[in-house]
Structure 1
Amino acid sequence: MLKKNKIIAVLTIEDSKKSLDLAKCLYDSGIINLDIRLRTSDSKKAIESILKSNLNFNIGVGTVLNENDLIFLKSMNIKYAFSPHTDRNILRQSKKYNIDFIPGVSTSIDIEIALNNGCKYLKYFHAEKLGGVTHLDSISNKIKDLKIIAMGGINNLNISSYLNHKNIIGIGASWIATEDLIRDSNWNEISKRAKLFLNL
């Protein structure tokens, strides 16, 4: 699912006019995988803008909560989506639109629901608040071959434990390009953080 590396830049874009500069900054810094959250009124415009660029990103969309969101993803030819939780209705609806749905899990029951609904990948969220890889092991050690994308509170100080975990295939980090950094057009700092993550 991911391309080139495990790192996913998790983005909340308030102003779609900044999306192309942000995208170019990330791409030039080596970031290929994106999770663009549907958290702002400009999120969909930002996604459209980045998709129309000539930058070869692997784009997923986050905070997908209802069927209207899925319809938008399908219209944009987005192949995978993230949700903060395991909602059975949207899990079923995602199949209709042929979208790889990656629900948020925090308990063994969440994992069971997701797997029973055909999910191939799971989002371990909020990773740090839940207790990191120690907690992940406690809820998943009876299930083999899980494919986990860890998100939530991961930064340059704690990423190493996630990088080395056998079940974690991807790590999402909003720390690379925080809302403040995007708002301030601080492309130098975003580039610095992206390269730091990729070199760990």
Structure 2
Amino acid sequence: MATKGTQSGASKTERLLALLDGQPVIPVLKITDVAHAVPLARALARGGLKAIEITLRTPDALECIRRVAAEVPEAVVGAGTILSASQFDEAASAGSKFIVSPGITRELLAAARDSEVPLLPGAITPGEIMAAREAGLDFLKFFPAEQAGGAAFLKALASPIADVRFCPTGGIGPKNAADYLSLPNVLCVGGSWVAPDDLVKAGRWDEIEALAKAASALRKAP
């Protein structure tokens, strides 16, 4: 089970932000071969992207998280596509430093409340965002970003819900990442373009490191 704790939502948000350490792009990874997990995490970390999200979309995702947590101390590994409290606990036990979910449910909120591992839940409607805010969460995933209205939608939320910040994910790449990062309520973006499937399968870690360096050079507008 996940480690129990009594931290407030606000303190957990601050812990999550400390883990991300101002990183502008969070790699969202779907790893199909366990053997790729460690060299991929090392290449991304060398490129400046230490915080990574390994999604639970493959049978060996938890083992990938375990290996990265044990063998790549320079990386901050998180788990994504968490849909239930049981998955939350499994991912935390595997060594995840943060948990990412595409949505928000009472079950997940309860699991996060009882754990020291911070949760980054997804929310796209004003109602979902307000519900998360009432639960003490003011840093949220906005997913699927492009399909849900993109940067224009997030810009419209910046005034009425000014105290909530986002990590948009979904349909974001090098051509539009800067549009999101220019918004006052966006702290970082998530994307898979820094680790293309063909480069991962071929073990072309130097090229992935170069993509990571380019992504880490993206910065928030002052």
Length-normalised TM-score, structure 1: 0.91
Structure 1 stretches lacking a partner, 5+ long: none
| Cα distance between partner residues in 1 of 2:158 and 2:34 | 38
Q: Which runs of 4+ in 1 moved over 6 A?
A: none
Q: What amino acid maps onto 1:14 in structure 2?
A: T
TM superposition shift of 1:140: 4.8
TM superposition shift of 1:95: 0.9
What does residue 93 of structure 1 align with?
Answer: 111
> Cα distance 1:54–1:14, how it changes in 2: closer, same or farther (>3 A)?
closer
Q: What amino acid maps onto 2:96 in structure 1?
A: I
TM superposition shift of 1:142: 0.8
Structure 2 residue 92 is matched with structure 1 residue 42 = no
| Cα distance between partner residues in 1 of 2:69 and 2:75 | 8
Question: Residues 35 and 60 of structure 1 are in contact (CA less than 8 Å); yes or no, is this contact kept in structure 2?
Answer: yes
Q: What amino acid maps onto 1:60 in structure 2?
A: G
What does residue 17 of structure 1 align with?
Answer: 35
Counterpart selection for 1:172 from 190, 196, 199: 190
TM superposition shift of 1:190: 1.6
Question: Residues 150 and 171 of structure 1 are in contact (CA less than 8 Å); yes or no, is this contact kept in structure 2?
Answer: yes
Alpha-carbon deviations, 1:41-98, whole Å to 9, x = none? 1101111111111432222211011122121233234342111112222122221123
What does residue 107 of structure 1 align with?
Answer: 125
Choose 155-164 or 171-180, whichever is displaced more. Answer: 171-180
TM superposition shift of 1:125: 0.9
Question: Residues 24 and 55 of structure 1 are in contact (CA less than 8 Å); yes or no, is this contact kept in structure 2?
Answer: no
Structure 2 residue 189 is matched with structure 1 residue 189 = no
What does residue 13 of structure 2 align with?
Answer: none
Q: What amino acid maps onto 1:51 in structure 2?
A: A
What RMSD, in angstroms, separates the aligned Cα atoms of the two structures?
1.7
Length-normalised TM-score, structure 2: 0.83
Structure 2 stretches lacking a partner, 5+ long: 1-16
Structure 2 residue 109 is matched with structure 1 residue 121 = no
> Cα distance 1:134–1:113, how it changes in 2: closer, same or farther (>3 A)?
same
Equivalent runs, 1:2-81 vs 2, <5 Å: 2-81=20-99
Q: What amino acid maps onto 1:15 in structure 2?
A: D
Match of 1:102, SS state, is: strand
What does residue 149 of structure 1 align with?
Answer: 167
Match of 2:146, SS state, is: helix
